[in-house]
């Protein structure tokens, strides 16, 4: 019996250890510079050195710069008010709406053959088949493989004339999938690794309207999605808190436990084995 | 015996539940607007509406703005290169250096009677006496109570003439405390709820130099520190990734498990009780 108890203690200790894995952090944002991608009609990025050199005033080395940019540039968010009157401006979005469980929808193979691809409800159901039902208040982001094209504007916008918005070809979300995420899974934020939550060919922007009307944050030009697991991460969207803003640049990042699926599976096996040992102990006691 | 086993299962389930508490999120940043505090010699914030109204082009409501600002304004970081030549620029700081265990050093009562107060090694030792040794790679932030003065420049800079940098009075870190954090605790980032990691009266900026030389991120004008526990949080410093930058605005925030100390204590009691039950089960078996 003492043998059984030792095993129980060992397994319990292992289970606690597995739950306490150290998280990893992954940057999902592009650098801001003169190449940063923005919607064709927007002004460009500006960076000015205010001082760079030895400062006689402060008696030390000094670097100090100034920058200017449109809110919707590089890795950034759309506040709900961006396309729907009266909804949240940037500084009205609660912190609780700026993070959630990471749900990465991988449509790279589909987008590789069809630059006008839109994520469908079926893509979401396939994700759930693999990883289980999405947690509520998640952050769902399309990984179309478009980051390999960033920041080349001709490639990112899929057009030799990216200033003509009737010629754009890049993938994004289908409005039915966005509706499903809102109604069935109470989604917190919906993102893309392309320049818009509506696909390049759209002229009616139904996803923007759906997201705005339902107070869901949009995230555009997300980087580095291959380096975060499709399930099991937490994604943060810490947007610059621009008063009266319609969006703003965000240093989007993910945290996750190293090999979370393996860890969860191992923890489950441990717990199950533990319960079996308890059961065995009961039986032994009754037999005795 | 079945009774004992039921109790064991119940306690195990409770322990797992306690370990899996949902984290809270707290914003530690000020909004960016025309009142944002910056060093007296810096240019001011600028916000321009590019469009606000019904768009005939897109056939929907549209809000879109442009902003311009110095890097070192509002809640922001100093990259190591800000005052030490050749060190990390903003876009060279690894993500691993932009977060860590939150260590809040509360010196509100001292700063209330002495606006020139500097956090000492004793303040750090007092924190450790209360909460245990600091984790490595932590984010240590002084809470001087200065946020109640933000963004009133006369009050924040403690001077009727805040443009004259020889007249400033606000608290910050003593260089001995910063040296201790670097050498003894491998600190990741050092922050203040005032405009500088050197106190207002400084004319030699030793803390800036120490932080820069040792690749430690500085954080200035941190907000809302009363709403985060002094120990037990994780603080993130997601700075806007400005290429070639000397710092930049950051949406600093903290996450923590609700009542972590209470939860840990409860979990420990649960585990201990659980072990006692196992022990009791063994004894009962031997007696039987």
- pLDDT tens-digit profile of A176-215? 999 999 999 999 999 999 999 999 999 999 999 999 999 9
| pLDDT value, residue B209 | 98
| Distance between B142 CA and the closest CA of chain A, angstroms | 22
The CATH T-level fold of domain B24-44+70-257 is: Glucose Oxidase; domain 1 (3.50.30)
Residue A193: is it exposed, middle or buried by C-beta count within 10 angstroms (0-12/13-18/19+)?
buried
Report residue B156 CA to chain centroid gap.
Answer: 19
Specify whether the CB–CB gap between A237 and A261 falls below 8 A.
no
Q: Is B61 within 8 Å of A85 when comparing Cβ atoms?
A: yes
The pair phi, psi for residue A254, each rounded to 5°, is -125, 150
Domain with CATH 3.50.30.50 in chain A: 24-43+70-257
Angle between helices A2-19 and B260-287 (to 10 degrees): 170
Q: Count CB-CB contacts under 10 A for residue A187.
A: 23
Distance CA B191, CA B237 (A): 10
For A242, the closest of B32, B274, B281 (CB atoms) is B32
Beta bridge partners of residue B47, listed in sequence order? B67
Residue B14 has pLDDT above 90, yes or no: no
3-state secondary structure of B199: coil
Chain B residues closer than 8 Å to A60 by CB: 83-84, 205, 208-209
The second-level CATH assignment, the architecture, of A24-43+70-257 is 3-Layer(bba) Sandwich (3.50)
| pLDDT value, residue B1 | 47
Distance CA B239, CA B75 (A): 10
Q: What DSSP assignment string belongs to B107-122?
A: -HHHHHH-TT-EE-HH
CA A135, A138, A144, A146 torsion-angle sign? negative
Q: Is B43 within 8 Å of A66 when comparing Cβ atoms?
A: yes
Report residue B48 CA to chain centroid gap.
Answer: 30
Give the CA angle between residues A75, A78, A83 to the nearest 5°.
145
Chain B residues closer than 8 Å to A42 by CB: 50, 64
| pLDDT value, residue B13 | 47
Q: Is A25 within 8 Å of B95 when comparing Cβ atoms?
A: yes
**Short-list A106, A101, A82, A78, CA closest to A227:** A106
The answer for A 117-176 residues in CB contact with B (under 8 A) is: none
| pLDDT value, residue A258 | 77
Residue A12 has pLDDT above 60, yes or no: no
For residue range A72-117, list pLDDT tens digits in order: 999 999 999 999 999 999 999 999 999 999 999 999 999 999 999 9
Distance CA A164, CA A160 (A): 9
Q: Which of A60, A97, A217 to mutate to test the interface with B (most CBs of B within 10 A)?
A: A60
* Lowest mean pLDDT segment, chosen from A46-60, A135-149, B243-257, B262-276: B262-276
| pLDDT value, residue B87 | 98
Q: 3-state SS of chain A: helix, strand, coil percent to 5?
A: 35, 25, 40
Share of chain B above pLDDT 90, in %: 81
Q: Which residue of A has its CA nearest to B271?
A: A12
| pLDDT value, residue A277 | 66
Q: Count CB-CB contacts under 10 A for residue A46.
A: 12
Q: Is B249 within 8 Å of A238 when comparing Cβ atoms?
A: no
Residue A94: is it exposed, middle or buried by C-beta count within 10 angstroms (0-12/13-18/19+)?
exposed
* Gyration radius of chain B's alpha carbons: 24
pLDDT bucket at A13, cuts 50 / 70 / 90? very low
Q: Which two tokens stand for residue A106?
A: 């991988």
- Tell whether A283 lies on the interface with B, counting CB pairs under 8 A: no
Chain A residues closer than 8 Å to B250 by CB: 238, 251
| Distance between A22 CA and the closest CA of chain B, angstroms | 12
What is the mean predicted confidence (pLDDT) over B61-66? 98
Residue B18 has pLDDT above 50, yes or no: no
| Distance between A83 CA and the closest CA of chain B, angstroms | 5
| Distance between A286 CA and the closest CA of chain B, angstroms | 8
DSSP state, B39? -
Distance CA A47, CA A108 (A): 34
Chain A residues closer than 8 Å to B79 by CB: 63
DSSP state, B287? H
Q: Is B60 within 8 Å of A208 when comparing Cβ atoms?
A: yes
Q: Count CB-CB contacts under 10 A for residue B14.
A: 16
Q: Is A249 within 8 Å of B240 when comparing Cβ atoms?
A: yes
Q: Is A5 within 8 Å of B282 when comparing Cβ atoms?
A: yes
Q: Which of B238, B239, B248, B258 to mutate to test the interface with A (most CBs of A within 10 A)?
A: B238
What is the mean predicted confidence (pLDDT) over A15-29? 70
Q: Where are the alpha helices (DSSP H) in A102-251?
A: 108-113, 121-131, 153-156, 175-185, 206-213
What is the mean predicted confidence (pLDDT) over B186-195? 98
DSSP state, A57? T
Specify whether the CB–CB gap between A249 and A36 falls below 8 A.
no
Q: Which two tokens stand for residue A84?
A: 């729907």
pLDDT bucket at A267, cuts 50 / 70 / 90? low
The answer for B 44-103 residues in CB contact with A (under 8 A) is: 46-47, 50, 58-72, 79, 81-85, 89, 91, 95-96, 98-99
| pLDDT value, residue A19 | 47
Q: Is B241 within 8 Å of A30 when comparing Cβ atoms?
A: yes
| Distance between B121 CA and the closest CA of chain A, angstroms | 25
Q: Is B244 within 8 Å of A33 when comparing Cβ atoms?
A: yes
| pLDDT value, residue B43 | 97
* The residue to which tokens 């790279």 are assigned: A108
- Tell whether B180 lies on the interface with A, counting CB pairs under 8 A: no
Specify whether the CB–CB gap between B192 and B172 falls below 8 A.
yes
Q: Which two tokens stand for residue A284?
A: 């032994």
Distance CA B284, CA B288 (A): 6
Assign residue A244 a region (left: φ > 0; alpha: ψ between -120 and 50; beta: otherwise). Answer: left
| Distance between B75 CA and the closest CA of chain A, angstroms | 10
- Tell whether A29 lies on the interface with B, counting CB pairs under 8 A: yes
- Tell whether B20 lies on the interface with A, counting CB pairs under 8 A: yes
Virtual CA dihedral for A66, A72, A76, A81, nearest 10 degrees?
120
Q: Is A65 within 8 Å of B204 when comparing Cβ atoms?
A: no
> Higher model confidence: residue A271 or residue B20?
A271
Q: Which two tokens stand for residue B11?
A: 């306690």
ipTM: 0.86
Give the count of Cβ contacts less than 8 A between chain A and B. Answer: 208
For B69, the closest of A26, A67, A282 (CB atoms) is A67
Q: Count CB-CB contacts under 10 A for residue A59.
A: 11
Residue B243 has pLDDT above 70, yes or no: yes
């Amino acid at each position: 019996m003492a043998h059984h108890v030792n095993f129980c203690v060992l397994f319990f200790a292992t289970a606690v250890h597995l739950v306490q894995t150290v998280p990893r952090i992954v940057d999902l944002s592009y650098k801001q510079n003169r190449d940063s991608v923005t919607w064709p009609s927007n002004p460009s990025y500006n960076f000015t050195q205010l001082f760079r050199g030895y400062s006689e005033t402060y008696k030390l080395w000094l670097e100090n710069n100034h920058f200017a940019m449109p809110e919707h540039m590089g890795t950034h968010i759309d506040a709900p008010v961006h396309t729907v009157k009266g909804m949240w401006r940037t500084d009205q979005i609660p912190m609780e709406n700026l993070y959630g469980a990471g749900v990465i929808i991988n449509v790279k193979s589909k987008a590789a053959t069809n630059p006008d691809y839109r994520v469908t409800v079926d893509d979401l159901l396939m994700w759930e088949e693999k990883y289980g039902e999405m947690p509520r208040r998640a952050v769902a982001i399309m990984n179309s493989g478009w980051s390999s094209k960033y920041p080349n504007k001709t490639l990112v916008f899929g057009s030799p004339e990216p200033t003509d918005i009737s010629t754009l070809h890049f993938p994004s979300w289908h409005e039915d999938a966005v509706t499903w995420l809102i109604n069935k899974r109470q989604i917190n934020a919906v993102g893309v690794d392309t320049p818009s939550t509506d696909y390049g060919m759209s002229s009616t922007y139904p996803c923007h309207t759906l997201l705005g009307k339902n107070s869901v944050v949009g995230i555009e030009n997300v980087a580095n999605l291959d380096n975060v697991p499709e399930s099991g991460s937490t994604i943060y969207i810490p947007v610059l808190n621009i008063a009266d803003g319609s969006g703003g640049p965000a240093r989007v990042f993910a945290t996750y436990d190293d090999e979370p699926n393996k860890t969860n599976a191992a923890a489950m096996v441990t717990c199950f084995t533990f319960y079996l040992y308890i059961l065995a102990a009961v039986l032994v006691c009754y037999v005795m």
